[in-house]
Structure 1
């Protein structure tokens, strides 16, 4: 039978959501990669699968466009929450992800906030290949590392326009210090409440934005003492707000937008 889906984006960070709460939908790495192809599939940065869940409004699983699974996606989590809130006419839902139960709320300006959980700062949790100070890695450029359920490596630069993200990102993603590869951030601090961010995304190239990368970049800036605890993160596609008190969960807030819904033909699914 055809596979139904929603196509959404958050400031240009596009994703597809498949609702499997009432039917078995066998998403595999192969199918996720086919769907993520921007020429022969739907195209997305991430794919999210909604499943029924006993202790939350739904469970959400994620894949990158290259078919690889991941534990978290701030943009697609907000998109899933938006769908469920509109469906139930509520302003709050709880989603079960591999990061645990995440509470999502709708703001007065119709943005979606999600509590992304505590950042993981220990070298083994990120993970790194060996024990190191994760706030200052022994790599050229002195980046910092953190995990939001996926690994992040943050470089702070004076001039973001001077960085060719697509040229330097792939090698940094595969640095041997990151056995599971890493997302790579390049951050220019505008002031203590505002950063400009460009991203090389693990398994996805250069996106217009990323919720989890925005969180990781802000967390590393706060750890370095460069930023206050509420930060506007400006990406190529638009801005989100990240809040972290240095101890608890990271709060991510930003817009999401429904683009269209559709069905994948059986012929596509069987190839």
Structure 2
């Protein structure tokens, strides 16, 4: 069985997109997703994205991280599939319904409302999520936000100096986070500007993380560090994040198609 794919990225956070609406796909197992994501023996990506029919949305988006685990939400992938769709869309995800709108500034995604309760993150036990009384070496008192998937954010003097490749996996797998967690280190550089690096759950260091940018912006807004609209600059480039008066997060940024091709499903265990 030969399967068509589209390789895409949002600020360097890259995806292999499969469309189950166009042709049947084999079962998406952890091993199959891992094999496709492998950058040496597969197509290579941070996330595998599968598009399916939906009853109450234009389509459903399923998201598999490079380790093969299925996750709830991906902001950069949302912009990528909206670019493929080519017009406004309602997209069903495991993290909730989102809406996409192409604009002159890129793709604007209504990511919904953030969640802050400890059991909505989720955490293993109750605590204040605005300033959590926990630390990993010099990283302390983070804030936690769920924007369709779980994030913990540390505000630091210089995010580039943090050994995120070492501390990221330790925090991701800490028992405090029963569903694991995305780890963000951020430096506020103005009332409308944040620099950010992300250790993404199941992926590792990425050039960009849309949900991480959303969660970090909301965390900074809750702490009064920034205004209600900010530019979050990741290694791959900037995203504009707004927390509007209706309480919804609007993320705006670019997406691009890299190339298209086909593969034999049997080569990857399909």
Map 1:18-29; keep pairs closer than 5 Å: 18-25=18-25, 26-29=27-30
- Listed one character per residue, the Cα deviations across residues 226-256 of structure 1 (whole Å, up to 9, x for unaligned) are 1111110000010111111376221111000
1:134 paired with 2:129, answer yes
Query: CA RMSD for the aligned pairs?
Result: 1.3
Map 1:34-45; keep pairs closer than 5 Å: 34-45=35-46
Match of 1:100 among 96, 99, 102: 96
Q: Which 10-residue stretch deviates more, 193-202 or 51-60?
A: 51-60
Counterpart for residue 15 of structure 2: 15
Which stretches of structure 1, 4 residues or longer, exceed 2 Å deviation after superposition? none
Cα distance, 1:247–1:152 mapped onto 2, change above 3 Å? farther
Q: State the TM-score, normalized to the length of structure 2.
A: 0.95
SS where residue 216 of structure 1 aligns? Answer: helix
Q: Which 10-residue stretch deviates more, 162-171 or 59-68?
A: 162-171
Any gaps of 5 or more consecutive residues in structure 1?
Answer: none
User: Shift of the alpha carbon at 1:101?
Assistant: 2.4
Any gaps of 5 or more consecutive residues in structure 2?
Answer: none
- 8 Å contact kept, 1:99–1:117: no
Instruction: Report which of the two has the higher share of strand.
Output: 2
Counterpart for residue 72 of structure 2: 71
Cα distance, 1:100–1:169 mapped onto 2, change above 3 Å? closer
1:120 paired with 2:115, answer yes
- Listed one character per residue, the Cα deviations across residues 174-204 of structure 1 (whole Å, up to 9, x for unaligned) are 1221111110000000001000000111111
- 8 Å contact kept, 2:31–2:269: no
- 8 Å contact kept, 2:96–2:148: no
Size of the aligned set, in residue pairs, is 265
Aligned mates of 2:143, 2:245 — CA distance in 1: 15
Aligned mates of 1:261, 1:132 — CA distance in 2: 47
Aligned mates of 1:194, 1:164 — CA distance in 2: 22
Counterpart for residue 192 of structure 2: 193
